[in-house]
Amino acid sequence: MSEVVGPEGGRMRELLLVGPGTVDLTAIDPRSTPGLPAAAGRGPTRKEWARAQVELIGAELGRQQEMLYASAQSAAGPGGATSAPAQADAGLDGNRPRRVLLVLQAMDCGGKDGTVKRVAGAMNPLGLHIRSFGPPTEEELRHDFLWRVRRALPPPGYVGVFNRSHYEDVLIARVEGLVDEATWRSRYAIINDFERELTEQAVTVVKVMLHISYDEQGERLMERLTDPAKFWKYNPSDLDTRARWDDYQAAYAEAFERCGTDAAPWFVVPADRKWYRDWAVAHLMRETFDGLDLGYPPADFDVERERDRLRSQRRE
């Protein structure tokens, strides 16, 4: 196998898209494999096939990421000013260098870290901007909830990955009662305005919920309690959160309903099968890059002249 095989039944951005209206997560099977082609085969071979495909897709993502980064560097020009040739490059939106932001959300053990390792790990770390969001610090609590998120946005030309995100402020803040209902409800509109602002700044936002089942989460938590090498991944509060599973599912569903926009839609990836999760997210990112119609920036110097100069420096 030496080429990428596309999904069957449509693009992954269509197959995994959360549509308008009320969202019922119980209707989405966490073990399902939307788009998986017949070429994947059956049984264990599907896992091997998918992992090989992720490697191939990763090579494409790396090339696209390089074009994104190169376009931004060309736009900056000497001294940081946008150069005229770069303004017309396909890697720019108007005069704005593009950025891509992958937002990952999931219940505990949903596979956010694994997705970052498998998918983002295929890209050049020099062009990656990965940030995780835990409980806010005292300094962060002195600001509005988006303050720390804005500070974590990827620079122009970079691919950013949020491991958890501003959505924690309408998920955990809601379920655990960290703020009153009027406060967390007001945040939906604020988030929509924020994400619309990002798209206007040439940031392409890809929001992914890794959807695992209650039973699968239980198995993964038990692994963390059984393997000493995984004790560090476990926190007793994980079981407190698990006890409120239904409340969290309802919070996710409302976040999808209220913050799934044309500018920044939500995608739900069935994630009980880790190999499918990685394959699906890799394809989502591939399709996202394809939609940007990127290209390497043209030279802003006389190529022939520089070749002649190089030849003239040969030593006998």
Question: At 278, is the secondary structure helix, strand, or coil?
Answer: helix
Rg (CA), the chain: 22
% of the chain at pLDDT higher than 70: 93
Q: What is the pLDDT of residues 167-218, one digit of tens each?
A: 999 999 999 999 999 999 999 999 999 999 999 999 999 999 999 999 999 9
**Per-residue confidence band for 25, with pLDDT thresholds at 50, 70 and 90:** very high
Q: Is 180 exposed, middle or buried (0-12, 13-18, 19+ CB in 10 A)?
A: exposed
The mean pLDDT value of the chain amounts to 92
Query: CA-to-CA distance for 147 and 131, rounded, in angstroms?
Result: 14
Which is it for the CA torsion 51, 57, 61, 67, positive or negative?
Answer: positive
Q: What is the pLDDT of residue 2?
A: 78
Residue with more model confidence, 109 or 120 = 109
Strands (E), the chain: 92-93, 96-97, 99-106, 128-132, 159-163, 203-211, 266-270
Q: Six-digit token pair at 89?
A: 């490059």
